[in-house]
Amino acid sequence: MGVGVLMLWVGVGVLVLAAREELAVGRESRESLRWPETLGEIVASDLTHYQHTRVKGPSYTCYRAKLRYRYEVAGRIYEGARVTVADGFPGTGSPADCRWATAHDIVEQYPLGRAVSVRYRPEDAAVSVLEPGSWGGGLLPYLLIGAAGLLAFFALKETVDWVRTSPSGS
C-alpha cells in the first residue's frame, strides 16, 4: 500500500479520536447542568505560566489560572480545581488558550476566600466544576467528524485505486 494512502488512514484515525474527545467534553458539559449543587470556598487562586515549546515555530508563554476550591458533600470534604468541564480534558495548547487576560480574569473572578457554587457529579462527588455547561467546543467535533469523513472517502478511493492497479491484486 502506498505511503499516501497509509497517511490518509492515519489522518482519519487522528480526526476520529479528536472528535470523540470533543464530543465527550460536550456531553459532560451538558450533564454538568443537572449535577447537584453545594456551597464551596476558593482556597487557592493564582496566576501561573510556563514556556510552551513548539517543534516548529517560536515558543510562547502560556498563562493559566490555578484555582483550588473546597466543598462538602454528605459530610465529606472534597477539593476541586476545574472551572469548566473542559479543564479536565487535554487542551489544544494553542496561543489562544494561553492568554494572560483570560487567566487573569479567572483569578479576579475567583479570589481567595470567595464563596462559590460548586456542581458535582452525583455518582462521584470528587468530580466537580464551578461553571457547569461551559464549553468552548461548539461546532468543532462536527467539523472534525466531517473532515474525518472526507479523509476516509479519499483514503478508501486511493485504496481501491491501488488494489485495482496492483499487479497481484494485493
Q: pLDDT digits over 22-73, tens only? A: 666 667 778 888 999 999 999 999 999 988 787 777 888 888 889 999 999 9
Same domain (yes/no): 12, 70? no
| Domain housing 70 | 35-132
Same domain (yes/no): 151, 97? no
In whole angstroms, what is the distance from residue 71 CA to residue 103 CA?
23
Same domain (yes/no): 1, 70? no
17: confidence class by pLDDT, cuts 50, 70, 90: low
The pLDDT of 132-154, averaged and rounded, is 64
Same domain (yes/no): 39, 71? yes
Same domain (yes/no): 21, 39? no
Same domain (yes/no): 147, 165? yes
| pTM for the structure as a whole | 0.64
10-14, 79-83, 120-124: lowest mean pLDDT where?
A: 10-14
When divided into structural domains, the chain yields a total of 2
Judge whether residue 99 has pLDDT over 80.
yes
Question: Nearest-CA neighbor of 95 among 134, 136, 139, 51?
Answer: 51
Same domain (yes/no): 54, 11? no
97: confidence class by pLDDT, cuts 50, 70, 90: low
Same domain (yes/no): 41, 64? yes
